[in-house]
Structure 1
């Protein structure tokens, strides 16, 4: 796979900055995936042949296990394929990764994940990237912890985090933290919320209460609903009545939905007389969908997400490599493998088993990846500095850029 010279230069300089940051503290660590307008990939024919990662890996380099449900059927198999390809793309773009990536099939089951993790650790893996599903992550946690092998997993279930398991995924808690921070800073402090009766919805409600309490806001009314047309319509009618009640005084409505359900809620809210010029409408990253632009009540609303510039840069490079658009989650595998490469180089002189120490993974200044700024917390969860995007008829517009450092407010 051909690489533009300026891209190679960026990656090498970023990895050098990482080594220096370990000594002198240069702020967040870039993993070589932030592009200026002049650094985007050169046009050309897609390289649809799989990159030869064996040619750039040294058997003596520290092993990183890549646990994916490659043998599963359905949509999950396509997700697993995209994760695998994005991880391999990170290897190739690094030029000389300094790690050996060993892919293991979890078969999409906890039992398969346990077997894959055990085999990888027995073969000398010092870090695990994956698995994808929460049950699989929970299954391998005790095995990895017992052998002192940290894990960077893709699950969005925070219950799977901790004891050496770090979640690199987009977490609902971080959606809420980012949209509340910006909204309160913008003068919106009295929230109403439409939240589904799901595990995701429960996380959103709990996080919303915590974030508003910590930032001087208030959750004045909540409607939970079953994810059916009837449930959505009833909840929208009830919340609309609350928004018109001066005693409640809500100035912001959070809708924790996307896709067809967001459209159903939006239509019901409009029919019930909710005016987005009076009540600010905000959402979560579930709004990160082209269809959101056609939901009238969402137009002008805010939601947290990765800036289109970063998303487009990653997607263009993936298309150049594989001839098709990636699954959105693929960028997380790219960042996980890029971070493994960077930490492996930073700790190249450390003894075996100490190449990926917890103190490096939990660097408080964080890392800059293809999705922007993030850092791992000691409890295994992550924090992300996301952009705030505004919905327009022609697509998302950046209302507030993502923070470049973890400063005040986090």
Structure 2
């Protein structure tokens, strides 16, 4: 059995929790491929936008998130290139049925598009509630299972990150990948995203090793991972876990077992730079992972702090993105500016964390940078792109 240093055990205490807080159980996506013409906008009038936030649940975390989302949305409204938006805030209480009722009320009161809600089940319920009203929903979820029809997800997706990381790895000559993932919905979804990215970019998925969400099972998986790497001559080990789960343990025990990023590059599907104390873990040094455009993120954070005196919630910027996209489209003066075709324009938009675009399947593509950790400091290996090439797919 391998020794586990105390900090790894401490971070691993949350291993039984979901890998990503906003990745929920799959819900039924609203059928269809979008809504053709979209709602008709009246020239010269402010466009009513409904912002659905999780306030009213009685949970402090929901209240803080709700306020940050509203703050970020209003911050984006300060610079809309002449577009006028009438932002109307509705509290969902973090509840799916309440969210659906509030969405119906918002549309009845004139909303032309819905921004939010946060949780996947609520977003799915909202999409169904307004499916026959020619209204699109730009949710803050990252769950691709609910995307489609009139529902878009603004949250970063596994597929987007996997595509970016595999593309970079292939450019560095990596071609034989071992996937290491947890035996839960998030881990399985991450595995599938990595597999798709590897196969579409000419690499080889040589093995997949899973583990149950407990410290003992992670430890027990180490010999299996080592065998998979060595017997398949793998030059990359792609892990789906995050810093609050198995990453500290895997990144310590694999090198102790003889599998290190020096010979088989460690790659992460989640961010390895948060919380900050993760940067000091020996096992993550030299690993590759994706981060939002650092320059754009810093600019947004500075503007937010200047306006509101505090830092934005980690997903607060998604509300900024939604308003930025809506404003950019409305400023063009077209009566059908919020149609499915307009929302999914190939050029995309510029938001709180860099460029992004909505895809016809309801998911999104974001311009990500590739980072590593050297001497407990984040270093950018490949900068985030500043524009998209070709149409999204």
TM-score (norm 1): 0.80
SS in 2 for 1:86: helix
Cα distance in 2 for partners of 1:110, 1:168 equals: 18
Q: CA deviation at 1:153?
A: 0.5
Cα distance in 1 for partners of 2:371, 2:247 equals: 17
Contact residue 194 and residue 235 of structure 1 kept, 8 A: no
Whether 2:263 is the aligned partner of 1:263: answer no
Q: CA deviation at 1:121?
A: 0.2
State the partner residue of 1:226: 212
State the partner residue of 1:209: 195
Cα distance in 2 for partners of 1:119, 1:254 equals: 45
State the partner residue of 1:13: none
Cα distance in 2 for partners of 1:396, 1:203 equals: 27
SS in 1 for 2:51: strand
Q: May I ask how many residue pairs the two structures share in their alignment?
A: 347
Whether 2:86 is the aligned partner of 1:104: answer no
Cα distance in 2 for partners of 1:145, 1:252 equals: 43
SS in 1 for 2:130: helix
SS in 1 for 2:331: helix
Contact residue 126 and residue 355 of structure 1 kept, 8 A: no
Segment drifting more, 389-398 vs 332-341: 389-398
Q: CA deviation at 1:301?
A: 1.4
For 1:28-65, what per-residue CA distance to the aligned partner results, in whole angstroms no more than 9, with x for missing partners?
A: xxxxxxxxxxxxxxxxxxxxxxxxxxxxxxx9411000
State the partner residue of 1:363: 345
CA shift in 2, pair 1:99/1:83, >3 Å: same
Cα distance in 2 for partners of 1:252, 1:270 equals: 14
Contact residue 257 and residue 286 of structure 1 kept, 8 A: no
Segment drifting more, 362-371 vs 212-221: 362-371
State the partner residue of 2:126: 140
Q: CA deviation at 1:329?
A: 0.6
Cα distance in 2 for partners of 1:287, 1:79 equals: 23
State the partner residue of 1:78: 64
CA shift in 2, pair 1:342/1:201, >3 Å: same
Q: CA deviation at 1:145?
A: 2.1
Segment drifting more, 175-184 vs 287-296: 287-296
For 1:229-262, what per-residue CA distance to the aligned partner results, in whole angstroms no more than 9, with x for missing partners?
A: 11211122320232233xx110001121222421
Segment drifting more, 365-374 vs 63-72: 365-374
Contact residue 81 and residue 327 of structure 2 kept, 8 A: no
CA shift in 2, pair 1:345/1:408, >3 Å: closer
Cα distance in 2 for partners of 1:236, 1:83 equals: 41
Please, which of 104, 113, 118 is the counterpart of residue 118 of structure 1?
104
CA shift in 2, pair 1:62/1:160, >3 Å: same
State the partner residue of 2:272: 287
Please, which of 235, 244, 260 is the counterpart of residue 275 of structure 1?
260
Contact residue 369 and residue 385 of structure 2 kept, 8 A: yes
Q: CA deviation at 1:381?
A: 0.9
State the partner residue of 1:305: 291
Structure having the higher helix fraction is 1
Contact residue 281 and residue 297 of structure 1 kept, 8 A: no
Cα distance in 2 for partners of 1:394, 1:149 equals: 47
State the partner residue of 2:357: 375
Structure 1 unmatched ranges of 5 or more: 1-58
Cα distance in 1 for partners of 2:386, 2:305 equals: 27
Contact residue 285 and residue 376 of structure 2 kept, 8 A: no
Q: CA deviation at 1:84?
A: 1.3
Cα distance in 1 for partners of 2:256, 2:63 equals: 41
For 1:5-42, what per-residue CA distance to the aligned partner results, in whole angstroms no more than 9, with x for missing partners?
A: xxxxxxxxxxxxxxxxxxxxxxxxxxxxxxxxxxxxxx
Contact residue 180 and residue 238 of structure 2 kept, 8 A: yes
Please, which of 140, 146, 158 is the counterpart of residue 160 of structure 1?
146
SS in 2 for 1:285: coil
Cα distance in 1 for partners of 2:287, 2:391 equals: 22
